[in-house]
Amino acid sequence: MLSSVLSFTPEISAQVSDYCTKKSNDVSPASNELWDWTCNRFEDADKMSSPLQNATMKFLAEFIGARRVLEIGCYTGYSALAWYEATEKNKAEIITLELDPKMIAASRETFNKYNLNDRVKLIEGPAGESLKKLTGQFDLIFVDANKEGYEGYVKHILDHKLLSPGGLIMCDNVFARGMTISTEANPQLPAKVRPYWTENGKALRKFCDFCKDDERVDVVLLPLFDGVTWIKWRENKANFLPLNGQ
Ligand SMILES: C[S@@+](CC[C@H](N)C(=O)[O-])C[C@H]1O[C@@H](n2cnc3c(N)ncnc32)[C@H](O)[C@@H]1O
């Protein structure tokens, strides 16, 4: 396949998403309950990760054997619950950052309801400020808050070596519903949210340039969900073999 993205129609995309969810690991009953609760209670529930993302995050956290997780953007705690469940064996510490008082209250409700307080710590306030208080290293860092903040967050994480040597940064919504690639990329995007995602797209285009140009890291931008960037420390600066005869 020469292209990395199949040209699905919106209807087929929905079917593909459904099929992948069904044929991947099931999410836990607690996650399902929290998902329903969030959808019923919040109009902007599309900010929450999807069940397939939940399964993917758990898969990754287990695969990496994460011992410490940092999450930027908590919302109702759906992804924090996934990190918690995935790191049961390692008893990982999970630090999650949230600014909005309404979402702070909602996520505290989640952490109390599912008894997550022994390992999940919520830091209230703007993520840029909360990040400055953090020390030590994290094996998994999930960047999922305000999109114009991504570049500053990742730069801070790298400059202050908050990412462990074998760790992974995962940034969500890097496509900004397609607007990062082009303002023409998503004719289906409703007019009401178009200006918001257009602005996010501009910031994320700059963020993608920053990631690609930073020689400290390896980066892949995956056409997964609403665009996911994975970042890890670059191990080998000379990781290209010479061409024949050179
Ligand atoms: C996309 S939602 C997070 C979803 C959650 N990680 C999940 O997977 O279910 C983004 C969250 O980031 C929060 N947020 C936005 N700007 C922020 C900032 N500057 N600092 C901290 N949190 C912020 C929002 O209030 C919102 O709850």
- Cα distance between residue 193 and residue 227, in whole Å: 18
In the chain the first and final C-alpha atoms are separated, in Å, by: 30
Position 237 confidence tier, pLDDT thresholds 50, 70, 90: low
- Specify the pTM: 0.95
Domain map (residue ranges) of the chain:
10-233
Q: Give the residue ranges of DSSP H helices in the chain.
A: 10-22, 29-41, 51-64, 78-86, 101-113, 127-133, 150-159, 194-213
Residue 49 CA: nearest ligand 1 atom is: 8
CATH topology for 10-233? Rossmann fold (3.40.50)
Pocket test for ligand 1, best of 146, 175, 199 (most atoms within 8 A of CB): 146
Pocket test for ligand 1, best of 84, 103, 111, 171 (most atoms within 8 A of CB): 103
At 199 the three-state DSSP class reads: helix
pLDDT in tens, 172-202: 999 999 999 999 988 889 999 999 999 999 9
- Max distance between CA atoms of the chain, in angstroms, equals 64
131 lines ligand 1 (CB under 6 A): no
106 lines ligand 1 (CB under 6 A): no
* Residue listed under structure tokens 């309801």: 113
Q: How far is the CA of 165 from the centre of ligand 1 (A)?
A: 26
pLDDT in tens, 118-176: 999 999 999 999 999 999 999 999 999 999 999 999 999 999 999 999 999 999 999 99
79 lines ligand 1 (CB under 6 A): yes
Q: How far is the CA of 94 from the centre of ligand 1 (A)?
A: 15
